[in-house]
């Protein structure tokens, strides 16, 4: 897909963050525009989740800053959510002991809108979320996030362990949201699927962004990118 000329809705400038004195991700410069799907790729342990956590306000930056809708922020996640940032973490962030409907009601958006976005959830509204299949749980977390009408959506490993058909369905919903102006940052294991829906891609290696380009540029270099930057073996032995 070609570039989207919307305003920048999420940005990292010289962002470093980690869990102790030594930063895990270093001097990151990245941006996501309204209506744009950006994918962040990297081997296991490269720092993708750490990056999303720092952007979400769950980890304080040791250097640099995060800008949400053009404004520098150091706010906590719940405040960033109120300002328009939706974050679907790797563990999906749903309440397993509550029903599908209760989970939707606890979101910031209208449950009915969420059910319109993912009609597959309608027959499951009374079921405990912990009893839903992995794919259904992920549909629930994405539908709840999108129903809050965010300006920015960040998803961590949306497709982990899910069947291709469900992955396709989730990516379709995300593409539709982007079509309506949501800026999306996707961390994905399914590199090819991610590059198919993304406009741009960043590749993270050992905490540093090493490649940034249009999805088609990165797709054209996929063999090199996969062998040099995306295999865990490379990451561990580098």
Ligand X SMILES: Nc1ncnc2c1ncn2[C@@H]1O[C@H](COP(=O)(O)OP(=O)(O)OP(=O)(O)O)[C@@H](O)[C@H]1O
Give the interface with Mg ion as residue ranges (CB under 5 A): 48-49
* Shortest Å distance, C-beta 46 to ligand X: 4
186 contact choice in Mg ion, ligand X, none (CB below 5 to 8 Å, kind-dependent)? none
Q: Which residues bind ligand X (CB under 6 A)?
A: 19, 24, 42, 44-50
Q: Between 122 and 192, name the residue whose CB sits nearer to ligand X.
A: 192
CB 130 within 8 A of CB 96: yes
Three-class SS of the chain: CCCCCCCEEEEEEEEEECCCCCCCEEEEEEEEECCCEEEEEECCCCCHHHHHHHHHCCCCCCEEEEEECCEEECCCHHHHHHCCEEEECCCCCCCCCCEHHHHHHHCCCCHHHHHHHCHHHHHHCCCEHHHCCHHHHHHHHHHHHHHCCCCEEEEECCCCCCCHHHHHHHHHHHHHHHHCCCEEEEECCCHHHHHHHCCEEEEEECCEEEEEEEHHHHHHCHHHHHHHHHCHHHHHHC
46 contact choice in ligand X, Mg ion, none (CB below 5 to 8 Å, kind-dependent)? ligand X
* Shortest Å distance, C-beta 18 to Mg ion: 14
Q: Between 133 and 231, name the residue whose CB sits nearer to ligand X.
A: 231
Tell me the residue number closest to Mg ion, measured at CB. 49
* Shortest Å distance, C-beta 204 to ligand X: 7
141 contact choice in ligand X, Mg ion, none (CB below 5 to 8 Å, kind-dependent)? none
47 contact choice in Mg ion, ligand X, none (CB below 5 to 8 Å, kind-dependent)? ligand X
Q: Between 49 and 81, name the residue whose CB sits nearer to Mg ion.
A: 49
Q: Between 20 and 123, name the residue whose CB sits nearer to ligand X.
A: 20
Q: Between 22 and 106, name the residue whose CB sits nearer to ligand X.
A: 22
103 contact choice in ligand X, Mg ion, none (CB below 5 to 8 Å, kind-dependent)? none
């Amino acid at each position: 897909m070609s570039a989207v000329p919307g305003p920048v809705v999420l940005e990292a400038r010289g962002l470093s963050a980690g869990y102790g004195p030594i930063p895990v991700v270093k001097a990151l410069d990245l941006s996501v525009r309204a209506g744009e799907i950006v994918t962040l790729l990297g081997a296991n342990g490269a720092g993708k989740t750490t990056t999303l956590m720092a952007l979400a306000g769950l980890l304080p930056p040791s250097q640099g800053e995060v800008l949400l809708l053009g404004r520098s922020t150091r706010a906590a996640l719940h405040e960033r959510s109120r300002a328009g940032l939706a974050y679907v973490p790797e563990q999906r962030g749903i309440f397993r002991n509550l029903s599908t409907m209760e989970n939707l009601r606890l979101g910031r958006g209208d449950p009915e809108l969420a059910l319109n976005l993912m009609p597959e959830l309608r027959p499951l509204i009374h079921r405990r979320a912990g009893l839903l299949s992995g794919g259904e749980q992920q549909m629930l977390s994405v539908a709840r996030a999108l129903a809050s009408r965010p300006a920015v959506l960040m998803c961590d490993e949306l497709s982990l362990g899910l069947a291709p058909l469900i992955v396709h369905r989730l990516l379709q919903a995300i593409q539709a949201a982007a079509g309506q102006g949501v800026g999306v940052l996707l961390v994905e294991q399914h590199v090819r699927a991610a590059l198919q829906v993304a406009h741009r891609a960043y590749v993270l290696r050992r905490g540093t962004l090493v490649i940034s380009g249009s999805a088609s540029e990165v797709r054209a270099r996929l063999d090199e990118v996969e062998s040099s930057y995306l295999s865990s073996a490379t990451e561990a032995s580098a």
